[in-house]
Amino acid sequence: MSTPSVSVFYPCYNDWGTMGSMVLLTVQTCRRLGVDHDIAVIDDGSGGQTQDLLDEIGACFPEIRVVRHERNHGYGGALRSGFAAASKEWVFYTDGDAQYDVRELALLLKHAGPEVDVVQGYKIARNDPMHRRIIGRIYHWLVKIAFGLKLRDVDCDFRLMRRAIFDRIDLVSDSGVICAEMMTKIQRAGFRVVEVPVHHYQRAHGKSQFFNFRRIARVAWQLSGLWIREVLLYRMHGGRDGDSSERRVDSGEIDRQ
């Protein structure tokens, strides 16, 4: 099987403490794997320290470009810009906080064959403070049940996807609930998904922009709106999950090799 071409991108908001090492490791990984690649950093309205770092990174590596938002568009807005900037056959993204090891992209690429559309990571163990683990599990089961997602880990942002998927689905969320929207639409469209175990590490710099107690009410409101739009109204207009015309979604575990 030939090595696929990959557009890599990172949503970035004041991740100056981790972004430099992540981009360098990405360049090294893609070159070591012999992957035809490009890399984008989506600067979602970061402050001057992060902007200066990204300018230096862009000057050092020709395959890297920085896509800048003049103001903060939210996590969903950053992801949508990243997907729009992708040009290769496959798109890989993970967060800019270095809680995942980009070298494990190699594990995802092993399964990027003709019968697969999405290679989705799932966390072997979540390395976060207790309150974030609790909130994360509640969020996981709430989203999994409410949206009928057949995924082992609904909020693992370590994903490799065919770029052509985004010719078929349209994402509109600006917040972190974009992942629930995206995976709901991917599953509904019948794209084939496999899941691969990946490591998750303790955050070394900065704070989460999503699992924050002050934002729980906002996230609940956004999820409610997404559920009304993507589940309730979808069914009211005659849509059904699991239609026979949809392509199979395989959410079974793939063992690490």
Where exactly are the structural domains of the chain? 6-236
Give the model's pLDDT for residue 1.
Answer: 59
Rounded to an integer, what distance in angstroms lies between the CA atom of residue 40 and that of residue 199? 23
Predicted TM-score (pTM) of this structure? 0.88
Mean pLDDT in the chain?
88
Give the model's pLDDT for residue 245.
Answer: 35
**Better pLDDT: 70 or 245:** 70
Give the model's pLDDT for residue 218.
Answer: 87
pLDDT band of 116, cuts 50, 70, 90: very high
CATH topology for 6-236? Spore Coat Polysaccharide Biosynthesis Protein SpsA; Chain A (3.90.550)
| pLDDT(190) > 80 | yes
pLDDT band of 206, cuts 50, 70, 90: low
Q: What confidence tens digit (pLDDT) does each residue in 70-91 have?
A: 999 999 999 999 999 999 999 9
DSSP 141-197: HHHHHHHT---S-TT--EEEEETTHHHH------STTHHHHHHHHHHHHT--EEEEE
Tally Cβ neighbours within 10 Å of residue 144: 18
| pLDDT(215) > 50 | yes
| pLDDT(253) > 80 | no
Least confidently predicted of 99-108, 154-163, 244-253: 244-253
Give the model's pLDDT for residue 251.
Answer: 43
